[in-house]
Amino acid sequence: MDLFNKGKTGALAESASNTSQKADLFGRFAGVGLWDVYLPSATAGGQERHTFSAEFRRLLGFRSEADFPNVVSSWATRIHPDDLEFVTSSFGAHLADASGKTSFDVTYRLATASGEYRWFRSTGGTDRRSDGSAWAAGSLIDIHAQKTLELQVQQDAELDRNFLEALSRAMAALADGDLLNRMPDTDQKFEKSAQDFNKAVSSLASALGNVLESAEKITDKARSITVAANRLSSRSEIQAVRVEESAAALGQINQAIGASLRNTETAIAGMAKAQEEAQSASAIVRDATASVQEIATSSNEISGITSMIDEIAFQTNLLALNAGVEAARAGESGRGFAVVATEVRALAQRSAVAAKKIRELLDQASKEVDIGVQKVANAESSLQKISTRIAELVQLIGLIATSTREQASAVRQLSDAVASIDEDTQLNATMASDTNNACAQLDGIVEQLTKGLQLFQVRSRAMDRLRLVSK
């Protein structure tokens, strides 16, 4: 029996030794730092003990227990200040929960021997005994690389989120027409994108500003053209009225010249007829020389009539001269010529009356032919002179008629030219009106363009002026 017990005791001792060796190997090479805490109760007695494995110390950069003693302060003083309350409260909550449902699994930072803080994960559990004492044990794992990557990912995600939010705000501002908004300074990762966006917005703002400046210039030019077109249209209308009045006046002058020409031709025919009658009377006088011996009593009257005819001829010459001067002039000369032609006709009538009286005297003288031979001879001489003067007058009136025809032709050409000017003036007035309408339409289009551009916030002198005007 003793041999059996000795054998059993030896096997247990060997098993315990192997377990201890395995635990030592596991603690040294598994990359997991082990720790345990003994918490005595009031009834059990004893002291609180803390134990840290060699791997625990190695993870923190320590080599021996002398560098990192098995006391709680060796661990607690190296917890990051921002994590201290969280870690201690978590461990206290775990110890206070007798049900064991509250686990201890925390991630926090510990200062290494070099003073650098690294991320670790600590997990553990507690074995509560019947005497009220507790034995807590757990592990420490270095997760610095994982946590750093995780934080970097979170930081990158935060940067991405911040950039997207900034981009979203900038795009919203752009959608609202705000071209003054720019992307703020951002992380180097998005710096190029932000700069490209700001450059694009600046280019768009510059382009819209240039368009706005051009629209303002077009508006000014269109308004100037509109004012000029209005003036041109007004002047064209006035000119058209004046040209129409001139054409009507020329028409009246042309009609007056035509009437004067007809009257002159009538006067020429009348003078020619008077000349024929005078020549016929002269022939009759010559044939009646033997019968006009009694004409002496009427010679004084014939002499007076002859003087009157001479006066008429003289005045006719003056009037013809005046008519020639008037005919050489343009414009109002036709009206003067009409007066002269009227006077010529009056003189012709007076000459006809005188001729009639002469014929009456000649009729009377024919009864006294026997006594008026000498007087008839004198009358024949006077008639020849009258015929000559009438012939000269007919020639002058013919010249006047020729000049009047030339004047009528010139007036007709002038009337045609004025009619052409009137047509061109009417066309100019129409074109000026069309130009005015086109300028008004252009002004409306530019106004619509300007209103559309006012939706954008652009830095430009033109936009500032428009905003001041709109206020």
pLDDT at 284: 76
Q: What is the pLDDT of residue 434?
A: 81
pLDDT in tens, 58-76: 999 999 999 999 999 999 9
Between residues 230 and 462, the one the model is more confident about: 230
- In this structure, what token pair is assigned to residue 28? 């040294």
d(CA 59, CA 64): 12
Residue 355 tokens, joined: 């001729």
Say what percent of the chain tops pLDDT 70: 72
Q: H or E element: which one contains 36?
A: strand 33-39
- The pLDDT, as a whole number, for residue 65 is 95
pLDDT in tens, 347-375: 756 775 775 676 577 567 666 755 666 77
Q: What is the pLDDT of residues 11-32, one digit of tens each?
A: 544 554 555 555 566 556 567 9
The pLDDT, as a whole number, for residue 25 is: 61
Q: Mean pLDDT of all residues in the chain? A: 77
Domains and CATH numbers, the chain: 35-152 (3.30.450.20), 222-455 (1.10.287.950)
Q: Residue 10, class by beta-carbon neighbours within 10 Å (0-12 exposed, 13-18 middle, 19+ buried)?
A: exposed
CA 112 to chain centre: 73
Q: What is the pLDDT of residue 3?
A: 44
Which segment of 89-98, 175-184, 226-235, 313-322 scores lowest on mean pLDDT?
A: 313-322
pLDDT (0 to 100) of residue 339: 67
Q: What is the DSSP secondary structure assignment for residue 458, as one 8-state letter? A: -
Mean pLDDT of 116-122: 97
Q: Which residue has the tokens 């918490």?
A: 39
Block residue for tokens 């006391």 = 71
Distance CA 290, CA 85 (A): 177
For position 452, what pLDDT does the model report?
A: 67
The pLDDT, as a whole number, for residue 28 is 60
The structure's pTM equals 0.41
Q: How far apart are CA 304 and CA 194, in angstroms?
A: 124
For 70-109, the pLDDT digits (tens) are 999 999 999 999 999 999 999 999 988 888 888 899 999 9
Average pLDDT over residues 189-209: 79
Q: Which pLDDT value is given to residue 341?
A: 62
Q: What is the mean pLDDT of residues 402-407?
A: 82
CB-CB neighbours of 93 under 10 Å? 12
Output DSSP code: residue 146.
H
Res 318 pLDDT > 90: no
Q: Write out pLDDT tens, residues 169-197.
A: 888 877 777 777 787 877 677 778 877 87
d(CA 129, CA 126): 10
Tokens of 435: 């130009």
Query: What one-letter code names the amino acid at 264?
Result: T
Query: According to the model, what pLDDT value does residue 12 have?
Result: 46
Confidence of residue 316 (pLDDT cuts 50, 70, 90): confident
Element (H, E) at 128: strand 117-128
Q: What average pLDDT score do residues 193-217 get?
A: 79
Identify the pLDDT of residue 8: 47
Please compute the mean of the pLDDT values over residues 414-439 and round it to a whole number. 79
Per-residue pLDDT at 253 exceeds 50? yes
Helix (H, G, I), strand (E, B) or coil at 44: coil
